[in-house]
Amino acid sequence: MKCFGRNGLEGTKKPNIKSGFPELDKITNGWNNGDLIVIAARPAMGKSAFGMSLLKEIAVKNRIPTAFFSLEMSSNQAINRLRMVLSKVDGAKIKVYDNGYTDTLNEEEKRRLEDAGKQMDIAPIYLDDSPSLSIHELSQQAIRLVSDFQIKLIIVDYLQLMNSGLLFSDRNEEMAYIIRRLKALAKDLNIPIIVFSPVYRRESREEIDGIRPQLRDLRCDAIEQDADMICFIHRPEYYRIYNDINGNDLHGKAEIIVAKNRNGNRGDVLLKFNGGYSSFDNLDE
């Protein structure tokens, strides 16, 4: 039982975690402790890239202890993706360079790659690449990491690769159970949990507004109901849309759409997206 008297909340309020994208934080006020945040996108929009960009801003730059559960990528793949994001060196060039062709990179690129490695060596990132992780296993790991390493944020990539470890009559019921458990875990640990999720294609929606993802595209009532915040990643140029309705250039731009925010505002912001090194950046960087 908590006391809500005059001094009952003293010391219990922890500051929200900023995403590293100020325009996004103006809408969300950062990631709230105890919240379950779902970040969703259609294929090729950059879900994993956005996850790595969050790691860069939160864990590497601001040294906030973060656990990253990578159910899709191996630990080596995740590490190499983060090297790309930090160094801003094209991933294809890094792969050739790592295979011994050292003249693939110029001296500046080599320096940036070396600096990225040094930053990663001291960053408080705790990476788990266990495939087909159950919600029970993730919960036990999360509790241990918070206790032993004072983890302040958990990122899961991605939701649909998790399992319940139980028998359900259909997958929707199982997903609802996992979502509820994730929300309860965020609340119990009093830290934000960010979970990435795919958005399924709706090819019949061909008008420009229809291409932008909407809550119903999640096809999971439990996500809509239990998530505290739902954001979508949308890259108009993927659909050959190169200007907005006001004529502004959308090349190399990505929208982050805050479609649900139980504790704040909704809205959308533009970020830069570089596909060569799979990075999201602020427009002024």
- pLDDT tens track of the chain, all 285 residues? 333 344 444 445 577 999 999 999 999 999 999 999 999 999 889 999 999 999 999 999 999 999 999 998 899 999 999 999 999 998 889 988 888 888 889 999 999 999 999 999 999 999 999 888 899 999 999 999 999 999 999 999 988 888 887 788 888 888 899 999 999 999 999 999 999 998 876 544 445 455 888 888 887 788 988 999 999 999 999 989 998 888 889 999 999 999 999 988 999 999 999 988 889 999 987
Q: What is the CA radius of gyration of the chain?
A: 19
Third-level CATH fold of 22-281: Rossmann fold (3.40.50)
Cis before 242 (ω within 30): no
Q: Read off the pTM.
A: 0.89
| Residue among 275, 274, 239, 233 at smallest CA distance from 255 | 233
Give domain limits for the chain: 22-281
d(CA 285, CA 271): 10
Quote the CA–CA distance of 283 and 255 in Å, as a whole number: 11
**Tokens representing residue 143 in the block:** 């509790």
Q: Which helix (H) or strand (E) element contains residue 175? A: helix 171-189
Tokens representing 150 are: 């004072």
Element (H, E) at 273: strand 267-274
Q: Note whether 124 and 100 are within 8 A (CB).
A: no
